[in-house]
Amino acid sequence: MEDFEHALQVDVLACSLRLDKDASGDLLEHLSAKLAQALPDECEITRGGWLLSSKKPVVELSVKLDDTGFQFTRDKRGVISARRQKIVRGVVLKSEDVEVEKLIGELAEKLASLAEKNARTREALQKFVVG
């Protein structure tokens, strides 16, 4: 039963990460807004655009959870790529490209497992999913 609840929690988080990307207009903007609201200390967002432009789109989102980094990057053509990082003492030792959907699933899994261990993370994720 506990495995089922964990799997359900991961599915709900993964769906929330992908939710309304069409309505919000952009997956990277949606992920950045949701994660920055829920976990501001673990997220780093880089915005691009012209110097005097009113729009500053997200060009990179980095999330660091324990020893794993999740990085989403938009190139100049608008294509989003994803990268998983192995981090030890603040230093990235290994970095590998991963499919965006797969990395979103891994991020949801990591968030769910951290929520089981940490009350602060659990509260942040409740705010993330519920709003």
Q: What is the DSSP letter of 78?
A: S
pLDDT score, position 36: 87
Mind listing the pLDDT tens digit for each residue in 100-127? 889 988 988 888 787 777 766 667 666 6
- Parent domain of 44: 2-130
Rounded to two decimals, the pTM is 0.75
CA distances for 81 relative to 90, 96, 119, angstroms: 22, 11, 31
Which pLDDT value is given to residue 33? Answer: 85
Return the higher-pLDDT residue of 64 and 17. Answer: 64
- Specify the number of domains making up the chain: 1
For residue 8, is pLDDT > 50?
no
Between residues 21 and 114, the one the model is more confident about: 114
Q: Are 50 and 59 in contact (CB under 8 A)?
A: no
Task: Name 67's Cβ contacts closer than 8 Å, sequence gap at least 6.
Answer: 86, 87, 88
φ and ψ of 119, to 5 deg: -65, -40
The average confidence (pLDDT) of the chain is 78
pLDDT at 14 (0 to 100): 60
Concatenated DSSP letters of 3-62: HHHHHHHHHHHHHHHHTTHHHHS-HHHHHHHHHHHH-TTTEEEEE-S-TT-S---EEEEE
